[in-house]
């Protein structure tokens, strides 16, 4: 999902944010190369310049209370973001994002305009596509933010496959609410031990 030096990742711990440095190959990155900044964007640890999308990451932390942020140029996500204004909710797993995924308007990478566009598109969502650019997800932990990006790329790939067959069906509000209700009642997505039944006495 991250070819060459494309994409960036960050994690917030208290009032500090660890973020990948600009122009870094994430596959070869070492812990010592990670930049650490405060919430104002000032470098407090590390010798490399933070990602050019630092302002975007900080905006998400300030406005959405994220614990971690993942940004990629994943191919399916970028394809959808280059032609559509929204990824419709064609599978119930997308309700984990909040439903249909919007496409934030295009702006130059690293700009305050792009940061504002993405932060605005994330209202009520934990994922958004970025027009002619890529995708971004956030979560309470790095593992959850990354898991959301994997799911978003899967959903975009699924959507692209359905287009070859016809117009994809999006879940209705009623269907979406039924999924939410069933997930809550069944604690869907949570590992649970099976309650052992006492043997019957004959």
Residue with tokens 């598109």: 121
Measured CA to CA in angstroms, residue 132 lies from 73, 102, 122, 183, 186 at distances of: 10, 13, 17, 34, 39
- pTM, two decimals, is 0.88
The predicted pLDDT at position 110 comes to 94
User: Residue 6 — very low, low, confident or very high, per pLDDT cuts 50/70/90?
Assistant: confident
Which CATH architecture group holds 8-186? 3-Layer(aba) Sandwich (3.40)
Measured CA to CA in angstroms, residue 78 lies from 1, 58, 148, 160 at distances of: 10, 22, 15, 11
Asked about 147 being catalytic, the answer comes back as no
Catalytic residue among 53, 150, 153, 185: 53
Phi and psi, residue 59, nearest 5°: -65, -40
User: Residue 201 — very low, low, confident or very high, per pLDDT cuts 50/70/90?
Assistant: low
Query: Under DSSP, is residue 109 helix (H, G, I), strand (E, B) or coil?
Result: coil
- Residue ranges covered by each domain of the chain: 8-186
Residue 32 CA, chain-centre distance (Å), reads 25
Please compute the mean of the pLDDT values over residues 176-200 and round it to a whole number: 72
Asked if 126 and 69 touch (Cβ cutoff 8 Å), the reply is no
């Amino acid at each position: 999902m991250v070819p060459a030096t494309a994409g960036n990742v960050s994690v917030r711990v208290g009032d500090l944010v660890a973020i990948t440095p600009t122009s870094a190959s994430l596959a070869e990155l070492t812990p010592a190369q990670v930049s650490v900044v405060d919430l104002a964007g000032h470098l407090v640890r590390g010798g490399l310049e933070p990602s050019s999308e630092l302002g975007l990451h900080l905006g998400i932390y300030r406005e959405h209370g994220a614990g971690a942020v993942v940004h990629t140029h994943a191919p399916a996500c970028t394809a959808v973001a280059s032609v559509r204004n929204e990824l419709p909710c064609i599978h119930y797993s997308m309700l984990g994002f909040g439903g249909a995924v919007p496409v934030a308007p295009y702006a130059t990478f690293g700009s305050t305009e792009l940061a504002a566009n993405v932060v605005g598109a994330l209202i009520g969502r934990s994922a958004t596509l970025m027009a002619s650019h890529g995708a971004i997800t956030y979560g309470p932990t790095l593992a959850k933010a990354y898991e959301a990006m994997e799911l978003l790329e899967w959903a975009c790939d699924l959507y692209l496959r359905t287009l070859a067959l016809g117009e994809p069906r999006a879940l209705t509000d009623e269907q979406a609410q039924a999924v939410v209700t069933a997930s809550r009642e069944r604690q869907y997505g949570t590992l649970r031990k099976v309650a052992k039944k006492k043997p019957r006495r004959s």
